[in-house]
Amino acid sequence: MSLTAAVKTLRIDGRDLSGRQEETILDVARQHGIFIPRLCEMEGLSDVGACRLCLVEVKGQNRLLPACVTAVEEGMEVTTNSDRLQKYRRMILELLFTERNHVCAVCVSNGHCEMQMLAQGLDITHVHFPYRYPKVEVDASHDRFVIDHNRCILCTRCVRVCDEIEGAHTWDVLGRGIDAKVITDLNEPWGLSETCTSCGKCVHVCPTGALFEKGRSVAEMLKRRQFLPYLTLMREENE
């Protein structure tokens, strides 16, 4: 296949852009500074299309497509930010806020939280769905890290980074629907995990304050995400 055949030209929000055929709409948008909200997607991890925040409109398609897993196609016309998409994104984020107990004011990630920032960016000044107030646990059994399930949004970044990058597969998901939760090993306390290498990757990919380092107080937990693209780049070069 020639080099030119692998390049697709498309239009995103009225801008004529191009991307390699294996790239997704989100990849190309990101390269050109077009912001599409997302919480489950993360560069360097596999894509699951679960948070539904990156849904975009593609001309000629009667359904909305997740930008993180939709490959670019020649002549595609993408709208990333219509009123309808904004409305859906606001609703989805609001639903997340109602699901567990997100108290930004006392959160270690206050001011550095992806969900909090997205909410502000989408003009969410309040949540019009009623809150659930479920009783969920905090597991502080690990020496260095804590998981506070109150703040977990089930993006599964921790599950994927642990499996795909660290290769430990300590994290996984237990249960279904609204009762689903991330677990370590076979739902044992994190501190007792025999597979956890304490590498801390899960903590730093976590978009909220659900995973954090011990000893961090309100607003003190800064996540260092740069390691992931760097690691994947180094691995690709070694291959």
Contact pick of 35, 59, 61, 129 for another protein (by CB under 8 A): 129
Residue 227 Cβ vs another protein, minimum distance, rounded to whole Å:
26
140-169 burial, b if ≥16 CB within 10 A, otherwise e?
Answer: eebeebbbbbbbbbbbbbbbbbbbebbebe
Contact pick of 52, 164, 185, 232 for another protein (by CB under 8 A): 52
Is there binding between residue 132 and another protein (CB under 8 A)? yes
3-state secondary structure of 57: strand
Residue 175 Cβ vs another protein, minimum distance, rounded to whole Å:
7
Contact pick of 9, 35, 134, 215 for another protein (by CB under 8 A): 134
Is there binding between residue 123 and another protein (CB under 8 A)? yes
Residue 101 Cβ vs another protein, minimum distance, rounded to whole Å:
6
Report the distance separating Cα 191 and Cα 181, nearest Å.
17
Give how many residues touch another protein by CB under 8 A: 56
Residue 16 Cβ vs another protein, minimum distance, rounded to whole Å:
25
Instruction: Name, in order, each residue with C-beta under 8 angstroms of 153's C-beta and a sequence gap of 6 or more.
Output: 39, 51, 96, 99, 100, 115, 207, 208, 210
What is the per-residue binding string for another protein in 157-196, x denoting contact by CB under 8 A?
---------------xx-xxxxxx----------------
Report the distance separating Cα 87 and Cα 146, nearest Å.
34
Report the distance separating Cα 173 and Cα 176, nearest Å.
9
Is there binding between residue 35 and another protein (CB under 8 A)? no
Q: What are phi and psi of 160, to 5 degrees?
A: -75, -40
Q: Which single residue is written with the structure tokens 């939760």?
A: 181
Could you tell me if 197 and 169 are in contact, meaning their C-beta atoms sit under 8 angstroms apart? Answer: no
Q: Which single residue is written with the structure tokens 């912001």?
A: 35
Residue 145 Cβ vs another protein, minimum distance, rounded to whole Å:
22
Contact pick of 3, 60, 83, 125 for another protein (by CB under 8 A): 125
Contact pick of 25, 28, 104, 183 for another protein (by CB under 8 A): 104
* Helices 83-99, 114-121: inter-axial angle, 10-degree rounding: 140
Residue 87 Cβ vs another protein, minimum distance, rounded to whole Å:
8
> Which spans of this chain sit near another protein (rule: CB under 8 A)?
48-52, 55, 63-64, 66, 69, 88, 91-92, 95-99, 101-107, 110-111, 116-117, 119-121, 123-136, 153-154, 172-173, 175-180
